[in-house]
Structure 1
Amino acid sequence: MIELTRRGLIAGAAATTLLPNVVRAQSSQVVVGTWGGDYGDLLRDGVDHAIMKLAGIDVLQDISGPVPRRTKLLAERQNRRGSMDVACLADFDMFAATQQNALEAVNETNVPRLAKVLPFLRKGSSIPQIYSAHTIVYNTNRVPTPPKSLNDLWDPKYRGKLGLSDFLFTTNTAFAAIAGGGSMTNFEPAKKKLMEWRSLDVKVLSSTEAVAAALKSEEIWFTIIAAARGFMWKQAGIPLGHVIAEEGAFPTLYEAAVPRNARNKENGLKYLDAMLQPAAQKVFATKMGYVPTVSDAPLEPDLDKQINFSEAERERFWKPDFAYLAAQQAAMLDFWNKDFKG
């Protein structure tokens, strides 16, 4: 028989009194795995403070790059509890997490704002937060007539004036594949077109920032990058435009999801809903040039003209086969490094 001492009873009573406070403290937080920089700042201003804080929920940002964030999400999926309540990832990385059954299903019951998401962006395990498309971005002073076709990027008169981000090797390979007659499930034609680019003195730049610097100095006149990025650089004073070629463009989508083993799953789902609020969507449109993913976040006409896509343009968006891309990624990178760059 266990003897219940007076001190033990007092301690037990104290613990019982404190327990609701502990539970409240845990349930009033949400940990969001995200990028830092402009993205993290806009989340903090447009979602964390403007929406979640008013609801009594404190947001803790877990800032890292997309690769370590995806790695952490997948590594923790067998744990009873993960370290993130929300994971923000690009569509390709989110596909990998979905394939590993690491994400909570989302629907209009647990994320009511899903009802406003544009149909072509809907998924079952994540919300589409913002989107744009990798397009041809060009210097409007040096190229007064916008290019019409992807093959304009192989025109000898522009020798040495195309610059590509090394980081976007998958996107660049996709453009080369389509220009060569391939598809989203056949990148083999990209090899010939990449080597043709090499013979035309294409510049491979080490980072997105290096691409911006080369456009600003007019070392290059063209690049392949998100239209949203071109908008940001234009706002910074570089004379740029973007065009969806007649062959189409590569959509780029940033998503958010709740891990199946999130500690504060309920708050994680509330966070997803907050990311889809019109005010939060418009912050990213105004500051970063990404298009809202919901139907009830209309933009000012001038901004809409600069960053949005017509229905006809969206019809020309390619539909990436992420399973194919995942299977081919190592081979693509090997050819990119050894043959194209080497």
Structure 2
Amino acid sequence: MTISRRTALTGSAAALALAGSRSPAGAQSSQVVVGTWGGDYGSLLQSQIDQPLVKPLGIEVAQDIANNDPRRTKLIAEKGSRRSSMDVACINDVDSYTLSQADILETVPEKDVPRLSAVLPVFRKPHSIPHIYSAMVVLYNPTKITTPPKSYADLFDPKYKGRVGFSDILYNFNMAGANIAAGGKANDFTAGNKLLKELKSRDPKVYPSNEALAAGLKSEEVWITTMWLARGFMWKKGGIPIAWSVPEEGAIPILFEAAVPRNSRAKDAAWKYLNAMLDPTAQVAFADKMGYVPTVKDAKLPADLAREISLTEAQQAKLRPLDYAYMQQERGPLLDFWSKEFKA
């Protein structure tokens, strides 16, 4: 059969168009769906990564916005599906561990994500890239608490009755902080749970979200809480009267990561997106706007910003990472305690 030049060109154009769609089996898409948080994080993804770095590559980005738990649940539910509803999943380090253990996340190939070479070695993982990190500190109102608190244990001082607040969505980290305050073990929260039960009698406030907790701090309903240093940095910039202390027992770190589900239908685009998340300019922008510290060696922060959001070497050496295996194994019982025995 003879094929004319016109027919060949038309066929090639059609093939290219087909390759850019998500419909045919095995086709790679020029669209990437990013499962992420909304608010400032989602906006910064759009302004610092999607538009300047990914769009010029011919990749269209759509955001699937939800909190951490629904995103984790969706990824688990879709494990057996031919296609995941998202191509890039933004997750915290606890869920990253859970999903990797369930074999839901694809191994990140260095050849497709060359910026991995710039990642600080302490943050390298086979199934995800580290985007930004911070530490859980003690936030307080310096006009109400004139002697800076030194530890997580200070939240449990009876003199702060009715003035302690928590964000409900950080229940597992709040419980880990209480456990450190009580001298408990990383794989046994018994001591911390006892301390939380004692605190319950002193009218602690539990807010449904980080933003609601910020409102409680702004209204001075709450004087002291635990929260990511990065959040404290943002809230202070927004005019909320707060200061913070890195707990002397050692702070709990938080790492926000990104990964690609094994059943993503747009892996080529997804790897390019992960690579863009490690761009030094974008990482500095996240630090400036949100207070999270870069995870790559070549992202240089201005000196004044570094003083605000970075930990000293001594504080870094005392970081208290969560026991991921324990947090996964006890996820249900931890939530039950928080919801039924502490918050209720």
TM-score of the two chains, using structure 2 as the length reference: 0.91
Q: What is residue 158 of structure 1 aligned with on the other side?
A: 160
Q: What is residue 104 of structure 2 aligned with on the other side?
A: 102
Q: 1:84 to 1:150 in 2, by over 3 A?
A: closer
Letter in 2 for 1:305: R
Number of residues of Structure 1 aligned to a counterpart in Structure 2? 335
Letter in 2 for 1:68: P
Q: What is residue 192 of structure 1 aligned with on the other side?
A: 194
Alignment of 1:257-296 (within 5 A): 257-296=259-298
Alignment of 1:120-135 (within 5 A): 120-135=122-137
Q: What is residue 303 of structure 1 aligned with on the other side?
A: 305
Letter in 2 for 1:312: A
- Name which of 250, 254, 257 aligns with 1:255: 257
Letter in 1 for 2:16: P
Q: What is residue 206 of structure 1 aligned with on the other side?
A: 208
- Name which of 217, 220, 223 aligns with 1:218: 220
> 5+ residue gaps in structure 2?
22-27
Alignment of 1:54-65 (within 5 A): 54-65=56-67
CA shift at 1:110, angstroms?
2.4
Letter in 2 for 1:308: S
Letter in 2 for 1:321: D
Counterparts of 1:270 and 1:332, CA distance in 2: 37
Q: What is residue 18 of structure 1 aligned with on the other side?
A: 14
Q: 1:226 to 1:148 in 2, by over 3 A?
A: same
CA shift at 1:174, angstroms?
0.9
Alignment of 1:31-110 (within 5 A): 31-110=33-112
The residue matched to 2:206 in structure 1 has which SS? strand
The residue matched to 1:67 in structure 2 has which SS? helix
Letter in 2 for 1:20: L
> 5+ residue gaps in structure 1?
none
Deviations 1:150-194 (A, max 9, x none): 222222222222111222221121111112121211111112211
Counterparts of 1:54 and 1:11, CA distance in 2: 30
Farther off after superposition, 12-21 or 185-194: 12-21
Counterparts of 2:146 and 2:122, CA distance in 1: 33
Identity of aligned residues (%): 51
Q: What is residue 120 of structure 2 aligned with on the other side?
A: 118
Q: Which has the larger radius of gyration?
A: 1
Letter in 2 for 1:315: A
Contact 2:234 2:289 in 1 (8 A): yes
Farther off after superposition, 175-184 or 76-85: 76-85
Q: What is residue 24 of structure 2 aligned with on the other side?
A: none
Counterparts of 1:20 and 1:61, CA distance in 2: 24
Counterparts of 1:249 and 1:16, CA distance in 2: 57
Counterparts of 1:12 and 1:78, CA distance in 2: 38
Letter in 1 for 2:240: I
Q: 1:201 to 1:317 in 2, by over 3 A?
A: same
Q: 1:266 to 1:141 in 2, by over 3 A?
A: same
- Name which of 237, 241, 261 aligns with 1:239: 241
Q: What is residue 25 of structure 2 aligned with on the other side?
A: none
CA shift at 1:14, angstroms?
5.1
Q: 1:23 to 1:341 in 2, by over 3 A?
A: closer
Counterparts of 1:202 and 1:66, CA distance in 2: 24
Counterparts of 2:331 and 2:76, CA distance in 1: 19
Q: 1:237 to 1:93 in 2, by over 3 A?
A: same
Contact 2:129 2:258 in 1 (8 A): yes
CA shift at 1:64, angstroms?
2.6
CA shift at 1:269, angstroms?
0.7
TM-score of the two chains, using structure 1 as the length reference: 0.91
CA shift at 1:318, angstroms?
1.1
Farther off after superposition, 57-66 or 226-235: 57-66
CA shift at 1:293, angstroms?
0.8
Contact 1:33 1:86 in 2 (8 A): yes
RMSD over aligned Cα atoms: 2.2
